[in-house]
A and B are shown apart, each in its own frame.
Chain A
């Protein structure tokens, strides 16, 4: 089994382009391939893959519920809560479930078992198929501020498959860390611009801190590639492959099509990624 996370730091570098095309060409050759869209706040892999959704599971987070008859108003729950989800006023606990991170501290410290585990809906995990490719994505509830619990649920749904491609959210904070956690390899997609380089450096720092193995894909490759190459050389990070800056790719993208289906010559650009996965599967 292998899990490949596709991340970037900067948004709009081509994570979903790489994830969807890579997953698609792998699924043409291998059984048991899945793409998991972990960008639960704005999932978009389905636009390129048109999956048939067969299953939908609601995802909940355990949050405190106070039984007023058992509560003695000691305030231990409000003291342990690091997220300001609980307040004690006139001996009564007020709960703000939307702030809860589900750490479980409050129901553990409650001396009278007055706190039980209620539920807050964080979103849905949908699963289906796009031809031979197994498709999973999370869709965050509108208004939900926390995405890691739903990302974990989507990843769990995908964990049954032999090859898992995880399309990660942009950035370098909790949602990305949750998405790349347990990944065997992280593909960092970047573009040869100062902005791309700046955010790539942030992403590389995070991956190093997490002890992840990772490599770079340069998307919209141009005469400015040296921006990324100089940095990669200095940091001893490999550049796995490049995808050209081709207007036809942008047109494909804007029409919600896969470049490896429409512009088959670009399959070649994905070969080094396929090879990397094959080598790791054999090892």
Chain B
């Protein structure tokens, strides 16, 4: 199982990025092999619109099964749930800590977007 985590940096000691669409990047962590890779999100930091959609597309393309982030808006949620991805919001701490919380089942699955979209 692969988990995507929005991250403020490229390693496991980086803090989780509370933003999803405009996160610095994503750590894609494989729970079986304990290996990870970093996928940057630079093009979305500068996007005038639709950053959440594009970030969701990125995470979907990485074939992650779950996403852990701070907040997730309605459009990103739509894309992620179309991919049957499990979404966990409200996570805090370093990537390492967040993965541990995930393993311990301490994160709560989001059943809808937890913030409003920027466009109607």
Contact = CB atoms under 8 A, between A and B. Distances in A.
A96 B83 contact: no
Interface string B10-49: 0000000000000000000000000000000000000111
Interface string B69-112: 00000010011001110000000000000000000000000000
Interface string A71-105: 00000001000011101111010101011000000
Instruction: Classify chain B's interface size.
Output: 10 to 19
Nearest to A101: B49
Given A92-B82, A99-B49, A87 B57 contact: yes
A227 interface: no
A99 B76 CA distance: 13
B75 A96 contact: yes
Interface of A: 78, 83-85, 87-90, 92, 94, 96, 98-99, 142-143, 145
Contact of B79 (A89, A98, A142): A89
A96 B60 contact: no
A98 B54 contact: no
Contact of A99 (B79, B83, B84, B119): B119
A200 B97 CA distance: 53
Given A83-B50, A99-B53, A99-B119, 19 more contacts: A78-B57, A83-B49, A84-B51, A84-B54, A87-B53, A87-B57, A87-B60, A89-B57, A89-B60, A89-B79, A89-B82, A90-B82, A90-B83, A90-B84, A96-B53, A98-B119, A98-B120, A142-B120, A145-B119
A143 B79 CA distance: 22
**Most B C-beta atoms less than 10 A away, residue of A78, A87, A90:** A87
